[in-house]
Structure formats: C-alpha cells, structure tokens
Amino acid sequence: MQNITDIIEAYLKQILNDETKVEIKRQEIAQRFDCVPSQINYVINTRFTVEKGYFVESKRGGGGYIRIQKIVLLDSHDLLDEMSAWVGDQLTEQAAEDYLIRLMNEQLLTRREAILIQSLLRKESLPMDVEDQHRMRAHLMQTLLQTIKRL
C-alpha cells in the first residue's frame, strides 16, 4: 500500500463507506496527492470498474467533475423487511418521502418511480382525516415494499 494509486483508491473508498457516491474534481485530488491529473484516471480505470461494482460519470469544462457510485446489488429483502417493520401501520408524509429517498439511494427505485409514488402518498391524494391518512399511507407503503421484493 505504498503507491499513490492504492492511497487514492483507499481515500475514495473510505468516503464511499459513508456516502452513496463521491464527486471529485480531478485537478483538486491530483494536487492533494501530489500527482499528475491523469493519475486519477488510472486509479479509476483500474480500481473503480463496473466489474468491481462501481459506476463512474464525468463532465469536462467549467464545473467539471468525476462522480463515482457504488453499485449495490445487495440481496435487498432484508432491507425491505427492516423498512417494513419501521413503517408499521402509520406514516407521515415526510417519513414516506424519507423512505422513498432511501429506496432510491439503494437503487431499488428510480427517481421517476419515486416521484410517481410520492405524488400518490401526498395528503392531497389521500382525501380523508389525518388519522386515516397516516394509516392509509402506511398501508400503501407496505404494499410497495412487498411489491418491490417481487419485481
């Protein structure tokens, strides 16, 4: 673990332990680790490949970046069951949104899917008194979680 490549790899992976993705500026990282910018490309091409479970995007020009995301192909049943337990039989609009975001982060829902579902869980979409709303929302969320398991 002496060469720069390994050090930069470790640095990025350490961030990916907490965050679902890491976004860097090539030049900035190169400077921080005192190497040429193209070294960063080498790190990415050898350590963050699709085969190794990473998805990399980048943009050139002003405001350019390199973004690395860990692809999670986890057996997600456990997570879905956990969420199911958390949801219980009552759910606020805000909590619902948080769960949807979590599902998106875990790549179990696309952004579009999350938006569609969220619109159905808004209070305006559930014409009933608040108590029932919370129950209804929870019920729909439970259905969703079970459905995702089967997709």
Which residues here bind its own copies, judged by CB under 8 A?
A: 1-3, 5-6, 62-63, 110, 112-113, 115-117, 119-120, 122, 124-127, 136, 139-140, 143-144, 146-148, 151
Binding partner of residue 147 among its own copies, DNA, none, CB under 5 to 8 Å per kind?
Answer: its own copies
What is the H or E stretch that residue 150 is in? helix 130-150
Min separation Cβ 54 and DNA, Å: 13
Q: Which residues contact 56 (CB under 8 A, 6 or more apart)?
A: 44, 48, 66, 67, 68, 69
Binding partner of residue 115 among its own copies, DNA, none, CB under 5 to 8 Å per kind?
Answer: its own copies
Amino acid at 101: I
Is 62 among the residues that bind DNA (CB under 7 A)? yes
Min separation Cβ 114 and its own copies, Å: 10
**φ, ψ (nearest 5 deg) of residue 45:** -70, -25
Give whole-number Cα distances, 91 to 63, 135, 137, in Å.
40, 7, 6
Query: Rule CB under 7 A: which residues touch DNA?
Result: 3-6, 24-28, 35-42, 44-46, 58-66
